[in-house]
Amino acid sequence: MKFDTRDKKPKLYSVLILTAAAALVIAGVMLWGGSGKAAAVCIVFDLYLAGVLALLVTAFFRQIGYNPYSYNTIFYFGFALFVLTVLATHILLTVMVINSDGVIDEKQIIYRLMFSAKNYMLISAPFILVFAGALCVSNISLIRHEGIRLVNVLGILLSLFLVGGELFLFRYDYYVTGSQREVMIHDLISNTFAAVYLYFECMVLGSIAAGAITATHEPERNKDFVIILGCGMRKDGTPTPLMRGRVERALAFYRRQREETGKELIFVTSGGRGANEPISESAAMKNYLISQGVPASQIIEEDRSTDTYENMAFSKRKIEEADPNAKVAFSTTNFHVFRSGLLARRVKMRAEGMGAKTKWYFWPNAAVREFVGLLTRHRFKQAAILLSLVAAYIALTLLSYYR
């Protein structure tokens, strides 16, 4: 899977065209379809869902080729899984309609769509339980090694949210009686809750996929510069295991590129000096590189940054001063690659990331922390999609009662 091989950003306008075409065909079948219109409508809708799924999967791979460090990468993957489950349930509905001899009609499509978010929660429940259990185990190990802090229990909190959501809907939706109005209000509440849960579950699954793809990616060995992102150091100014892992990952890439292509590269050590640090993070990484045989002439220090955004912005300036057309990579810890790449794009720098390994119990909780950080980005886009989902499920619920 190659990154940055496309110059054109994928668009999903074709989904709108496909939706309009499917609506026209379904309307035509409803008007002139005759006795077999129920099965015809179901088949057309299945083909429509298959087309949407194909477009989402295609957009996902094209997005990786254009820019893998993007909210769109998460969105395309997460919602492709959802559309896949909807397609599977509607294929079953189509089979039932064909075999029912007219007993089941095309109106069942509305019911299936109305309950599609809840069905997705039901289908994905086993995975959610396993995922939440694994998160809790890793968090308990992390707490045993590093103590109780808010950032060390984020995985447990996410697990409680995911499992609690499943349990709430199961209990709330288990049995309902009353007037049609009371049942409708119940369905409005449960479908709205399921729509919100659906969005965040798709985001979680998409983030896992995007994080795994970018963390395990090996950049093409044609780079001119590699940025090493700083993190905390020891009191004596030597790298912590986390920082050393990032430097070693960059060193391994540097040596492999030199062996395979003969091309040298320049290291950019990026990180300022904290209030209680004896030297800058940049200097600590430079000292370590020199101890590993890297000439000082192949190292550029960027020692003013205080966070990842500044790492990328200030390093970009250093690189452009040396070579405006340089090919760039960056090295950080595996859980941090995706968000670092996103920030690199924010400063308009194309750079391929590489991830250094970390302890098994540290990675899942750190990945959750990165996920929470991602949720704070693209707030308007996320709000628009979430509100659109909620509005769609409210409309479907009302339509099922008042059609």
| Chain segment 278-325, per-residue pLDDT in tens | 899 999 999 999 999 999 999 999 999 999 999 999 999 999 999 999
pLDDT value of residue 209: 92
pLDDT value of residue 103: 66
Q: What pTM value is reported for the model?
A: 0.88
pLDDT value of residue 102: 63
Class for domain 225-326, per CATH? alpha beta
pLDDT value of residue 29: 85
Residues of the chain above pLDDT 70, percent: 98
pLDDT value of residue 272: 92
Residue 343, number of CB atoms within 10 A of its CB? 22
CB of 41 closer than 8 Å to CB of 24: no
User: Quick one: DSSP state of residue 151?
Assistant: G
pLDDT value of residue 106: 65
CB of 55 closer than 8 Å to CB of 15: yes
pLDDT value of residue 403: 64
Low-confidence ranges of the chain (pLDDT < 70): 33-35, 102-106, 403
Strands in 266-270's sheet, in edge-to-edge order, are 299-302, 266-270, 225-229, 328-333, 351-356
CA distance 142 to 294: 34
pLDDT value of residue 4: 80
Residues carrying CATH 3.40.50.620, the chain: 225-326
pLDDT value of residue 368: 81
Q: How far are the Cα atoms of 25, 97, 155, 196, 401 from residue 30, in angstroms, in the given order?
A: 9, 15, 49, 32, 19
